[in-house]
Amino acid sequence: MSDRPTDPSSAVSALRPASIVVLTAGGDLSPIVVNGLVRALSGAGRVITVVREEPESKADIIRRRARMLGWRTALGQAAFGVLHRLLAPAREGRLAAVVAANGLDTRADPGVAVHHVTSVNAPECRALLASLAPSVIAVYGTRIITAETLRAVYAPFINYHAGINPKYRGQHPGYWALASGDAENAGVTIHLVDAGVDTGSVLYQSRVTFAPDDTIASYQHVQAAHALPLFARAIEDALARRLAPRTVDLPSRQWFPPTLWGYLTTGIVRGVW
């Protein structure tokens, strides 16, 4: 017998306005995703609520990656992160151009309720989700969601991933597609969430072409512009109970941030930054 909550398909819940929860970890792209969904999905009595988790500490991230990949790789990834932050001011012009060209909204919307939790997997988050009783949960940029949290409510969890699954699961997938000489598989995926890392069944995918002056700092902004209509469409499908998940026949691999030396080598040799 499943311990998943009972489907609230009673006459009472049928009269309740559709509730959409957006689970996010914050960051520069979070307002863009939230605002895009609000713009596309508001109306018809729908209630959109954001649940934002606190970020993991850098030390916790490094230790976790060291357990998975070894200390040399984990420290190399941390060094890349430092370089990425140092170069950010020089790339603001390209980001501003992407935002303007695609009509992206980077400002936090004061009209959207935001609840703060320590983690999407904390008991407080599960209790909050149960109290909100959403019809669908949109996920962007959070920790890997545990099976216990996925069972907390009877609603599909739908994730936006900035890569083509299952070939480019994990982090910086657009960069890795280009760095691998596989630009035809740079793109975005909207998929159901399971307890794995971007392993849930695919709902929508789209390939994305980047401009010559795009870099790892702007790839995901370009991808977000392509993904938002698909993300909204998948949520509409969930509300209408017409989700059509499918399996994509591609090799599966999880990717991580590049190391500093790997990033510099790829940039010099292949011109992928």
Per residue in 237-268, pLDDT (tens digit) is: 999 999 999 999 999 999 999 999 999 999 99
Confidence of residue 163 (pLDDT cuts 50, 70, 90): very high
Crossing angle (nearest 10°) for helices 260-270 and 71-87:
60
The percent of residues in the chain predicted with pLDDT above 90, rounded, is 86
pLDDT at 44 over 80: no
Mean pLDDT (whole number) for 208-235: 96
Burial class (CB in 10 A: 0-12, 13-18, 19+), 2: exposed
pLDDT of 26? 82
pLDDT of 17? 63
Mean pLDDT over each residue of the chain, to the nearest integer: 92
pLDDT at 225 over 90: yes
Q: Considering only CA atoms, which of 194, 197, 200 is closest in space to residue 148?
A: 194
Confidence of residue 108 (pLDDT cuts 50, 70, 90): confident
Q: Where are the domains of the chain?
A: 11-270
Going through 56-142 in order, the beta strands assigned E by DSSP cover 113-117, 136-140
Q: Which CATH architecture has domain 11-270?
A: 3-Layer(aba) Sandwich (3.40)
pLDDT at 13 over 70: no
pLDDT of 110? 87
Whole-number Å distance between alpha carbons of 35 and 106: 8
pTM of the model: 0.91
